[in-house]
Structures are given as structure tokens and as C-alpha cells.
Structure 1
Amino acid sequence: MSVFKDISLSAVVAGFIAVLVGFASSVAIVFQAAQASGADSHTIVSWIMALGLGMGASCFFLSLWYKTPVITAWSTPGAALLATSLGQITYAESIGVFIFAGALTLLTGVTGLFDRLMRLVPLPIACAMLAGVLFKFGLGIFESLKTDTFLVATMLVTYLVVKYFLPRYVILIVFMVGVILSVVRSDDAMLSHIPLSVGQFVWVWPEWNLNALIGIGIPLFIVTMTSQNIPGVAVMRSSQYHTPVSPLISWTGLASVVLAPLGGFAFNLAAITAAICSGDECHRDPKRRYIAGLSAGLFYLLAGLAGTSVVALFSVFPKSMIAALAGIALLGTIGMNLKSAVSNDQYREAALVTFLVTVSGVSFAGIASAFWGIVFGSVFLLAAKLTKSN
């Protein structure tokens, strides 16, 4: 088979680094989302296993089929949205939200409506909503700095220094520094209590809450499509891969629908980790970089099988470390979305209103603020256009 001829160490390592960076940079946010949904420790393990299975299978088979490095990921902004929105509904209703958002993604891919549907929500409005959702995670860095000054300050200094020399691996190294400091100053041998065992899936049938579907499901869909899938496609195009987009979107949507009852809340095309697997560092020959996608798929599957160990590992870390890591990992995303939201004079006021409404946490009719941010922002945008036309 040509696959064996195309295998290279650099591509395999690129896949491993992509998985490591993906987990280290955002698994803390997934934990917060799971906890917000009411998941217990066994259910959180199921989340990690389902996410590992979904990302592993989609990375491996899509990369193999298209012979390009197709890297998928869980929706990190989606997890941040869920962490701030799921507290008022039951866990079964949360599963219903995941399935609904996944079905919208599947429908968008199957019908080829990706581009047309995204035009309904202007990018600045979507970016403003996302920035509002992520805002509290950025604040979490400095709230944690007050309660655990040495640990968080060291992580921040590490971030500033490493970002200058090795920007691609900055979150991974910040994570490692946080782990080392947490272990060194602990009275117990933290790592000795981490089980090395395969976890178990927890299946929960969905329940349907119309307010939650509208107030959380639609924003989850929009955030995933605009902040994850669009940049993911951009990474592929910038690397000169012209893989058909609609089938990729369809498969991520299908994975979300199938794995949602196990905790697979949202899958999408990756951007940052995809860049690791599609650049020159992966392999000089672009036609052989798909091996990185196969490698990432296998490592994701292994990480999913080790769900019990992953959950136990993160449960022993200080909350301040997890909060700081999550915030630091999202600094770039917050900044880019704020810039995209207000850089265009035409959209600036509407985007600002979207951001403020989302940050406020205001809720009407039981529908979360992220949705109302889009509504208010769209109204202001429409009013501005009508005023200008007159």
C-alpha cells in the first residue's frame, strides 16, 4: 500500500504534537462545560472517550480517503459557550442541544448551504458574540492570579517568553510548567493516584427543551461554524489543499449527532492543530502530509481510551491552574474576535452591542444571552442600514 511508503517520522510526530497541543490547550474548557451540564466524574470520562473516538475516527478516515491532512477537533469556543449556558437545564436536555446543533451542521453540509447560511450572520456579529462568551475565561486568568499568585504568574511569564521563541508550542509548554509546579509543591504524590485503565461510555437519551435549543443550540452551531469550520477551511486552502468542504462538514455533523448521547458535544474542522499537520515542518512533500492526519487520528483514539486517566489527571490539578490555562489558551481567540468585531466601521456599533449583551449574561424567556446578543446586534445593524439609506 502507498500509505506505508508515505509514512515519515516528521508526519507522525506532527500528528502527535497536534493531539498533545489540542488536549493541553483546551481540555480544561471541556471539563468546565461538562461540569456545567451536571456531569459526574464517570460521565466526564465518557465525554473524553466520545470526543477522542469522534476526532480519531474522523481524522483517520477522512485523511485516508482524501489523501490530505484533514484534522478535526472538538469545538473549543462551543465548550466555552456551554460552560456559561448549561447551568439552567438538565443533563438530558443538554444532550438534546448537542444533537440539535450537530443536526444543523449535518444539514448545512449535506445541502451545501455552508456559505449562504453563514452570510445570514455577519462575521463581525458572530465574532462579537464569541468574544463575549470567552470574556469571562480571560478574566479568569487574573482572578486566579489573585488567589494563586506564584503559579499563575509563572505561567504568564512562561507564556510571554515562549510565545516569542516557540509560538506554535506556547500553550503546551505553559501547560507543562503548570503541571510541574503543581506536582512539586504538592504534599502528595499526585501522579501515583492516577489510574491507568480504560474508561466506560455513559449513554444518556436526549430530552428536548425548546428554549435551550434556540438559546444554546443555535449559538453553539453558529460559534462552531464561524469560529472553527471557517478558519479550518482557510488553513486547508492556505496550504493549497482543495478538499471538498461540504462532505467534511457533513461528517463532523454526523459524528456530533451519533456521539452526543455519550458526551461528544460538537466536532468541527481544526485550525491551529491543522496548521501543524499541513505545513512544511510536517513534510516537504504536501502529498505525504496526510500521514499526519492518520497519526493524529490514532493518537486521538488512544487519548479517548485513556479517558479515566485524563479525567483523574486534571482533577488533581489546582483550579487556579486550570482556569489560568484555559484563559491563556483563549487569549489569542479573544483578541482576534474583538479585532474582527470592531475593525469595520459599518458593523462596529452593532458588534459592540452584541458583545455587551453577551457579556451581561442577560436572559429573556429562559434563552441564553449569546442568542440575544445576536438578536440585539442584528437589530442595531438593520437600524443603521435603514438610517443610512434614508
Structure 2
Amino acid sequence: MRRLTVSIVSHAILAAVIGLMPVLLIVDAALNKGWPVSHTIAWVFGCYVMAGLIGMGMSWKTKLPICGSHSVPVAVLLGTALGPFSLEEATGSYLLAGLCMLALGLSGQFDKVVRYIPIEIVMAMFAGTMIRYALGIITIIQEHVWLGVAALAGYLLFFRFFPSVPAPLGAFLLGGIVAFYLGEMDAPAWGTWQLPAPVMPEFSWQGFVSLSIPIVLLVLGTEGIQGFSGLRLGGFRPPVNQMVAVSGIGTMLAALFGGHSANTAGIMTTVCAGPETGPAQERYKAAFLAGVIMLAFGLLASVLIPWIVSLPRYVIHLFNGFALIPVLIGALKISFQQSQYVLSPFVTFVFSMSGMSFFGMHASFWALILGVSLLWLLERKRGERAERS
């Protein structure tokens, strides 16, 4: 790590910024549940400390630019899916999800899961749970015009003039400045540093079905596949089974503090793996540095989170909406534009968007069941008949 170039450091910071922005999703989900700040601190601590350790450990051991993060799609899902579950039940569900990922990684069965539950269905389910954040931008602009317009202008300016920087960062910066000027955000009120207490898990079949299964599919179907693809595009050969297994271990460790996941990252890994970062044999350093930043943020959760929690809810919702625009666009492209299927992704998307629950199980589970059933019973059969004719 002696030779660090400006390019390596800048890409490490960019990857870390991408990993840090979704902390607002965690805060929003915890506020929706009415959990105390101590629970939110533990949640953030578990996700970011373990994600940082994954990025540092995997990049150092493999000399590949593999970053660690928590799963943004899962954080979005939990904004609604946590409804009937206590912190202890959610923790048990996260542990089971991590155990399933570890089993898939050790057994090498990940490819079979992807074949039976296509990525188009998983992403349609994810897009359906996420759409409310994008719609929320319009509502907030109506009710808080200057703040909303400033955030929108920041997003568009960065999108147009700084294409290498995430456009949501522009919304955060310009929107934050205007919010401070208007008195809608107070000066930071930092907390005191302390280590959070671990959470004792409780297990239920409803939690396994409504949380564990979607978490496994979202972590591996989004972060996992994005990370594998990013490494291949960078000229590397990804250790797929090892990355899946490490995601399982990281998620189990994050769950001890109420964290929903800690896994190998998708977009962050892609940022560090590209040729712009530097020579191929040096790119792992960017992932390692990004991991250091993620780890530091997690260790400082008790200091930073009390201020973030104190922000007005509409500010959190607005920034979350802008942060998820590129993610939502990507999910919709995979679900429809790049898919050979039409009906099954559409039904999955609409049912997931509805938020309806039956028999104590969240809409995301039923959306997956309906989508996969339609795909195998109707669209796959029709496609096979068309090929034979």
C-alpha cells in the first residue's frame, strides 16, 4: 500500500460515497418502525463495520478490487416489510438469510438459484418496493418548493456536468445548503461515542418467508451479480462462490447488531475495478481504502446517527428519493428493457408496488411467487413452443 496515486484515492472516495449515501434508507426504515436511536446506531454499526471489514479483507487477500457494502435493495425493502416484526425477529431473519448465502457459497449452488428465479423477476420486485421513494419526490417538491427545487437542480447539474460523480450527491449538497439556509436543518448535534449492544435473535417462519428469502435474492441478485460483472469488465476473474460465502458470513455478523446485510458490493466494486482507477494490479488498493472509510463510518455511528435521525422526515425522504433514481432506472431496465419476458415482470412489479400483505407475509414474497409461477407456467412454455415451431 506504499504507492497510492491520485486516481486510486479518488476512486476509493467515490466508491465510499456511493456506499455511505444509503445510510438514510436505514434511518428512514428505523424511524418508520419507531425504534429508538440506540437501535438505529446498532443497525448502522453492524452494516458498515462488517462491510468495511469485508472490503478490506477481500481486497487484501485476493488482490482484487472487491468492495464491501450493505444491500441498498434490502434497505429499501425493509422500509415497508419490517412492519409486523420486532427487532429480535428481524435479527433472526437476517441471520437465516446469511446462513442461506453461506450454504449457497460453500455448495456452489448459486447458479442454479439464478436459473430458477431469473434476475428480471427479482429486479421487478425490487423496483416495485422502490417506486414510492421516487413518487415521494413530487409530493415533497409540492409541499417544500425551494428545498425540492434546489435538490432537483443539484441532481440535474451533477448529471449534466459531472458524469463521473453520482448525481444524487448534487441533490444532497445543494439541497442541504438550501435546507440550512431556510432553517429546515439544524446544525449538527453529535452524539457520544459508544459501542452498541448486540441483539438477541428470535426466529419465525413468517420472518424467514417475508424477510430472509427476499434478502438472499436481493443481495445475490443485485449486489452479487453487479459485482461479478464489474470485475469481469475490469479484466478480472471473480471468485463467485467465495464472494457469496463471505456475503453470508458478513450478513450473519452484521445481524448480531440488527444489521440487515454486509456483503460484497456491486456498484462500489465496479467503480474500483475499472481501468480509470489505475493499473490492474493496483486497483485492489482503491477497494481497500473504500473499506477503511466504511469501517470508520460504522465505528462513528454513535456520534453521527443522532444528528441524522434529528433531520426532518421530509428531508430524509427527499434525499432518499434522489439517491434511488439511478438504482430504480437500472432495475426497470433489467426487468423490462433487457428481458425476454413481459407479463411475469409486470405482475411482479405491480404486486410488489401495492404493498399488500396476506397471511402475515409481505407483498415482496407474494410478488416473487406470482412472477416466478407465471414465468414458468406461461411465458417459458410459450417460448419453448415458439422455438419448436
Which residue is 1:371 aligned to? 365
Which residue is 2:171 aligned to? 174
1:28 to partner: Cα distance:
1.0
Deviates more, 1:347-356 or 1:26-35: 26-35
Inter-partner Cα distance in structure 2 for 1:47 and 1:301: 14
1:103 paired residue among 99, 102, 105:
99
Residues 1:149 and 2:145 are matched in the alignment = yes
Residues 1:85 and 2:81 are matched in the alignment = yes
Matched to 1:234, the amino acid is: S
Identical amino acids, percent of aligned pairs: 26
1:230 paired residue among 225, 230, 241:
225
Q: How does 1:45-64 map to 2 (within 5 A)?
A: 45-64=41-60
Deviates more, 1:358-367 or 1:344-353: 344-353
Which residue is 1:23 aligned to? 20
Inter-partner Cα distance in structure 1 for 2:68 and 2:96: 20
Residues 1:269 and 2:264 are matched in the alignment = yes
Inter-partner Cα distance in structure 2 for 1:311 and 1:235: 31
Indicate how the Cα distance of structure 1 residues 155 and 225 shifts in structure 2: closer, same or farther if over 3 A, else same: same
Inter-partner Cα distance in structure 2 for 1:293 and 1:261: 25
1:270 to partner: Cα distance:
1.8
1:38 to partner: Cα distance:
4.7
Unaligned runs of 5+ in 2: none
Matched to 1:266, the amino acid is: S
1:20 to partner: Cα distance:
2.3
Unaligned runs of 5+ in 1: none
Q: Is the 1:63–1:290 contact (alpha carbons within 8 Å) kept by the matching residues of 2?
A: yes
Q: CA RMSD in A?
A: 2.0
1:37 to partner: Cα distance:
4.8
Q: Is the 2:65–2:273 contact (alpha carbons within 8 Å) kept by the matching residues of 1?
A: yes
Residues 1:12 and 2:9 are matched in the alignment = yes
Which residue is 1:213 aligned to? 208
1:84 to partner: Cα distance:
0.9
Deviates more, 1:334-343 or 1:144-153: 334-343
Residues 1:243 and 2:238 are matched in the alignment = yes
Which residue is 2:348 aligned to? 354
**SS, match of residue 69 in structure 2:** strand
**SS, match of residue 194 in structure 2:** coil
Q: Is the 2:68–2:264 contact (alpha carbons within 8 Å) kept by the matching residues of 1?
A: yes
Inter-partner Cα distance in structure 2 for 1:41 and 1:15: 30
1:85 to partner: Cα distance:
0.4
Inter-partner Cα distance in structure 1 for 2:173 and 2:303: 17
Deviations 1:337-362 (A, max 9, x none): 22222236752011111111111112
TM-score (norm. length: structure 2): 0.93
Which residue is 1:281 aligned to? 276
Q: Is the 2:226–2:270 contact (alpha carbons within 8 Å) kept by the matching residues of 1?
A: no
Q: Is the 1:45–1:200 contact (alpha carbons within 8 Å) kept by the matching residues of 2?
A: no
Matched to 1:75, the amino acid is: S
Inter-partner Cα distance in structure 2 for 1:371 and 1:237: 31
1:389 to partner: Cα distance:
6.2
Q: Is the 1:125–1:374 contact (alpha carbons within 8 Å) kept by the matching residues of 2?
A: yes
Inter-partner Cα distance in structure 1 for 2:360 and 2:366: 11
Indicate how the Cα distance of structure 1 residues 155 and 117 shifts in structure 2: closer, same or farther if over 3 A, else same: same
Indicate how the Cα distance of structure 1 residues 176 and 344 shifts in structure 2: closer, same or farther if over 3 A, else same: closer
Deviations 1:176-235 (A, max 9, x none): 2222222222288512x224x423212111111111211221111111111111011111
Indicate how the Cα distance of structure 1 residues 13 and 212 shifts in structure 2: closer, same or farther if over 3 A, else same: same
**SS, match of residue 88 in structure 1:** coil
Paired residues in the alignment total 383
1:314 paired residue among 308, 315, 330:
308
Indicate how the Cα distance of structure 1 residues 189 and 211 shifts in structure 2: closer, same or farther if over 3 A, else same: closer
TM-score (norm. length: structure 1): 0.92
Indicate how the Cα distance of structure 1 residues 189 and 383 shifts in structure 2: closer, same or farther if over 3 A, else same: closer
Deviations 1:86-140 (A, max 9, x none): 0111111010111111111111111111211111112221121111111111111
Inter-partner Cα distance in structure 2 for 1:187 and 1:123: 40
Residues 1:295 and 2:292 are matched in the alignment = no
Indicate how the Cα distance of structure 1 residues 357 and 187 shifts in structure 2: closer, same or farther if over 3 A, else same: closer
**SS, match of residue 167 in structure 1:** coil
Which residue is 1:257 aligned to? 252
Indicate how the Cα distance of structure 1 residues 259 and 346 shifts in structure 2: closer, same or farther if over 3 A, else same: closer
Residues 1:381 and 2:381 are matched in the alignment = no
1:9 to partner: Cα distance:
3.8
Q: Is the 1:70–1:274 contact (alpha carbons within 8 Å) kept by the matching residues of 2?
A: yes
Indicate how the Cα distance of structure 1 residues 382 and 187 shifts in structure 2: closer, same or farther if over 3 A, else same: closer
Indicate how the Cα distance of structure 1 residues 111 and 186 shifts in structure 2: closer, same or farther if over 3 A, else same: same
